[in-house]
Structure 1
Amino acid sequence: MNSTLVTFPGGRTSGRSPIVGTVPVGGLHGLVVAETPFHPLDHTWPDQPADRGTIGGLPVVDCVTGAQSKTGEVLLGEAVPARRGDEDWEWLVVHVTPAPLPVGSEVDLEVDADFRAALSAGHTACHLAALALNAALAGRWRKDVRPDALGHPDFDQAAITSSRIGPHGSVDVYRLGKSLRKKGFSGDDLDPAQVARQVNDRLEAWVAADAPVRVDVPGPGLTARRTWRCSLPEGEASIPCGGTHVSGTAELGRVEVALSLEDAALTMRTTCGN
């Protein structure tokens, strides 16, 4: 099998393609096609959940990243030992279904567009919240640190331990321990409510600006290094990203964050919607 070509970065939610392989997934069946609109769960940074929908009329109960070695062995999800994009592997989108379909048959692929739209909104809001959090915490750095695309110290990339996208929102967890202090960040007397107000004020302005959002797509492969971009009033923001997004910030409606601090970890919960 060759690496799967994907159309979800351009916003596609439907397509037609031949089945090129099958993979056992427990008691279920993993179907691989030549080209798919389905976004799978990433095996290295599982932030955006898999798309829902149907393939050949069958429900897609899960959609995961797979990798085929030079010997033909296919591994799935966390079992993949290679780094994303390793050229020694073929990278596959595996559609998990309750029944098989024959290799070689042409099938229609239909993504649940409403669920995709909700995840896309949650993912865009997540990126905006991270940038706004960077700005709100910029004065707490005592050492030079790599800046984000807007010129603020990139707290998000320096401290994040997990990010989970959901419909119309996300949950991001940041570690504020010794390693971050060594990098020059001071969390002393950090008031989560005060920081959240600063973040929310910035988010309100960004939504009102209806800043255009796009994903730069250098190629059709699953592991192509795609980049999220947003033309904010402060400048062009960019973040490496393999997920899906809305086309403008006004589509998000109201975006708000809530911050909580516990056990040297800062948790940011972001929600969006009208």
Structure 2
Amino acid sequence: MTALSPTRVTYPAGATTSTGTIVHVTDAGAGRFAVVLDVTAFHPVDTAWPDQPADRGTLRIGDTVHDVVDAVVGATTGEELLLGPDVPVRTGTEGWTFVVAHVAEGEAPEVGQTAEVEVDAQHRAALSAGHTACHLASLALDAALAEAWTKPAPTDALGAPAFDALAIQESRIRPDGSVDTYRIGKSLRRKGFDPSALGDLDALAARVDALLGEWIAAGGAVRIETTGEALADRRTWVCELPGAEVRIPCGGTHVSSLADLASATVAFHRREAEGGVELVMTTTAVRSSAGGGAASVVR
């Protein structure tokens, strides 16, 4: 196959439209094809950590408009392009080139054609609100459980013991919210976590909600810092909270200010799991009437 360059992505700056040149087309199975552009506003789902789903939208090539049924990370060492679940390495692995593959149905276009991307902006805004609220909720949960540790533990971006990072099994962003699943087993207990801190989940939710309310009321700015425009370049979510600037590595999309959120609340439930129990945190965000702006980008 012809050598590919990394896809330049514009979604970190909030772009929902872009025009690019088709640099590669491949069969995606089931009557679908995958198109790689030199630049795109489309946010793909990352197979290694698929927390934020792919954008919705369309791909216009000449007079033909294709619905993008999926957008995934593609990767190649120069021999063939692997898509989504077939990619065997994490995005950014040395020796690999990473691209955004737009999956659509119908007659495949040709390399060299111009394609216009249009993302569903309302769906993007809802996912961005959900992703920002997810980060805030994880930090608030860490803070609310800070006294539950009997040993020194690694800390989060605010200096609290990092329950979220140590216990997370799965995180799924959804429109205006998220669902995070934590494993409470022997490994976490050996690290010093006392599960009795999860005895009253309503009280825990109240403590988390109080912090979320305080942080959102402050209306701090949110931005994305990036080392470059390539899909695999490092990106960092930066949020201004009262008395602190929080920095978390993140490849997703976000609101531009906490003022874009009217509120965020959490609910917890437990379920049995092999080797222990799982704690599930469901976060619900409500956008303000002035919300919807995308995080600014700083390089």
1:225 CA drift (Å): 1.3
The answer for the alignment partner of 2:192 in structure 1 is: 184
Matched, 1:153 2:157: no
Q: Which amino acid aligns with 1:20?
A: V
Q: How many residues align?
A: 273
Matched, 1:34 2:42: no
Matched, 1:248 2:257: yes
Q: Which amino acid aligns with 1:44?
A: A
The answer for unaligned runs of 5 or more in structure 1 is none
Q: Is the 8 A contact 1:206 1:232 kept in 2?
A: yes
The answer for the alignment partner of 1:87 in structure 2 is: 94
Query: Within 2, Cα distance between the matches of 1:63 and 1:164?
Result: 16
Q: Is the 8 A contact 1:3 1:221 kept in 2?
A: yes
The answer for unaligned runs of 5 or more in structure 2 is 288-299
Matched, 1:239 2:248: yes
Matched, 1:14 2:17: yes
SS in 2 for 1:31: strand
Q: Which residue of the other structure, out of 270, 283, 292, is the alignment partner of 1:270? A: 283
Which sits farther off after the overlay, 82-91 or 170-179? 82-91
The answer for the alignment partner of 2:50 in structure 1 is: 46
Query: Within 2, Cα distance between the matches of 1:149 and 1:115?
Result: 28
The 1:244–1:188 alpha-carbon spacing in structure 2 relative to 1, beyond 3 Å, is same
Query: Within 1, Cα distance between the matches of 2:18 and 2:133?
Result: 27
Query: Within 2, Cα distance between the matches of 1:193 and 1:81?
Result: 41
SS in 2 for 1:161: strand
1:223 CA drift (Å): 1.1
Q: Which residue of the other structure, out of 5, 8, 26, is the alignment partner of 2:8? A: 5
Query: Within 1, Cα distance between the matches of 2:48 and 2:191?
Result: 25
Q: Is the 8 A contact 1:70 1:88 kept in 2?
A: no
1:87 CA drift (Å): 2.4
> Could you give the per-residue CA deviations for residues 71-100 of structure 1, whole angstroms, max 9, x where no partner exists?
2x1111121112221121110100011121
The answer for the alignment partner of 2:181 in structure 1 is: 173
Q: Is the 8 A contact 2:179 2:282 kept in 1?
A: yes
1:140 CA drift (Å): 0.3
Q: Which residue of the other structure, out of 102, 105, 119, is the alignment partner of 1:98? A: 105
Q: Is the 8 A contact 1:138 1:152 kept in 2?
A: yes
Q: Is the 8 A contact 1:150 1:234 kept in 2?
A: no
The answer for the alignment partner of 2:75 in structure 1 is: 67
Q: Is the 8 A contact 2:145 2:197 kept in 1?
A: no
1:70 CA drift (Å): 2.6
TM-score with structure 1 setting the length: 0.97
Q: RMSD across aligned C-alpha pairs, in angstroms?
A: 1.0
Query: Within 2, Cα distance between the matches of 1:188 and 1:87?
Result: 43
Query: Within 2, Cα distance between the matches of 1:129 and 1:167?
Result: 15
1:252 CA drift (Å): 1.6
